[in-house]
């Protein structure tokens, strides 16, 4: 049975001041070097026993001093260092500064995936970072980072092929989980982002295909409700990467369009819908203007029109107001009848 690593509790490591230890190591180094020199001089003068003892102790102290040097660690702001001691988790350093820890501690960092170099190169281009370089860093950045997911082809709820891309703003909040639970947390984030975008995008249509006005319950669409759908992507992605010690700060859909094979047909449909909507507004305005003209003519007693003349006047006004071209008026110099 494989042991689970989920029960590893993060330990904030208490370290010693690196400057004080550095001064002590330099002092010991100088004293040990001086002991080696005096030991050699004593041997030359004939004090072989004293010189040998002094030389041996000084050499031993010098070796121990040099062994302690790797315990000095420099942590920059918004960085973390995860340490292990003889294969066991030892602790994590989050505080910036010059620290000293057990010199036998080794850093735990994301593993390098030599068996899938093509994937790493592709992911590094999408992330805007060199993923292979990140793989060999011993310190984990806890800064806000932007992950730009490449546009991928997905079928929406209606089966139409669309291209969707997203921007993910994230940061590492638990460096211990990021390096112990996951081989490479950036690659893991990339894969999970692709999966979430596909799963969420196929639940909604790209656009509302129902043009009727009787549809009171508006359905969420990828084009019209991108902010709400991006919020759903954020929640699902946050749940997926929580075990990797990653916090998702924000998700935004930065690219959404029909796939090239159907883009032209869908563009014609959108243009037709826009033309119909514009014509509807024009007709509504024209009818309102004709009604206003007839009411004012009647109220001011300008002319008394029978029903036939009213119908003719309405027809002429609608032609003028709703036509695509400018009207050419015909002047009647004779009788109105």
- Parse the chain into domains and list their residue ranges: 16-108, 142-258, 265-322
* pTM: predicted TM-score of the whole model, two decimal places: 0.65
Instruction: Give the list of residues 6+ apart from residue 193 with CB closer than 8 angstroms, or none.
Output: 147, 149, 166, 168, 237
**What average pLDDT does range 94-102 have in this prediction?**
89
pLDDT, tens only, 247-293: 899 888 887 777 666 556 566 666 666 667 777 777 777 777 777 77
Instruction: Give the list of residues 6+ apart from residue 36 with CB closer than 8 angstroms, or none.
Output: 55, 58, 59, 62
List, as one string, the DSSP characters of 117-158.
HHHHHHHHHHHTS-HHHHHT-SSEE-S-EEEEPPPEEEE-TT
In this structure, the chain runs to a length of: 337
SS3 of residue 337 by DSSP: coil
Architecture of domain 142-258: 2-Layer Sandwich (3.30)
- Distance separating alpha carbons of residues 234 and 283, to the nearest angstrom: 44
What does DSSP assign to residue 206? S
HEC profile of 273-331: HHHHHHHHHHHHHHHHHHHHHHHHHHHCCCCCCCHHHHHHHHHHHHHHHHCCCCCCCCC
pLDDT over 70 percentage in the chain: 72
- Distance separating alpha carbons of residues 11 and 292, to the nearest angstrom: 79
Burial class (CB in 10 A: 0-12, 13-18, 19+), 212: exposed
Q: How confident is the model at residue 28 (pLDDT cuts 50, 70, 90)?
A: confident
């Amino acid at each position: 049975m494989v042991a689970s690593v989920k029960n590893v509790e993060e330990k904030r490591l208490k370290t010693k001041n690196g400057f004080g230890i550095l001064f002590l190591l330099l002092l010991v180094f100088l004293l040990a070097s001086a002991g080696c020199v005096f030991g050699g001089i004593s041997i030359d003068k004939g004090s072989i026993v004293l010189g040998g003892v002094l030389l041996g102790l000084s050499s031993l102290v010098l070796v121990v001093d040099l062994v302690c040097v790797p315990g000095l660690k420099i942590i920059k702001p918004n960085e973390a260092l995860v340490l292990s001691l003889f294969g066991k988790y030892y602790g994590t350093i989050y505080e910036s500064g010059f620290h000293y820890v057990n010199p036998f501690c080794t850093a735990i960092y994301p593993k390098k995936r030599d068996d899938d170099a093509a994937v790493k190169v592709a992911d590094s281009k999408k992330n805007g970072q060199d993923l292979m370089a990140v793989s060999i860093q011993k310190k984990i950045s806890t800064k806000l980072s932007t992950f730009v997911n490449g546009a991928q082809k997905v079928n929406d709820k209606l089966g139409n092929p669309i291209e969707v891309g997203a921007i993910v703003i994230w940061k590492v909040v638990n460096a211990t989980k990021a390096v112990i639970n996951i081989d490479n947390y950036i690659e893991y984030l990339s894969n999970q982002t692709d999966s979430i975008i596909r799963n969420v995008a196929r639940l909604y249509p790209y656009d509302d295909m129902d043009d009727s006005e009787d549809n009171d319950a508006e359905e969420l669409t990828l084009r019209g409700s991108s902010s709400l759908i991006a919020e759903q992507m954020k929640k699902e992605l946050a749940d997926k990467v929580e075990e990797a010690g990653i916090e998702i700060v924000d998700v935004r859909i930065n690219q959404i369009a029909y796939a090239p094979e159907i883009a032209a047909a869908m563009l014609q449909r959108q243009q037709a819908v826009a033309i119909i909507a514009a014509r509807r507004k024009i007709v509504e305005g024209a009818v309102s203007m004709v009604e206003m003209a007839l009411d004012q003519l009647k109220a001011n007693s300008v002319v008394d029109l029978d029903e036939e003349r009213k119908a003719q006047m309405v027809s002429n006004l609608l032609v003028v107001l709703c036509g695509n071209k400018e009207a050419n008026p015909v002047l009647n110099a004779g009788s109105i009848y």
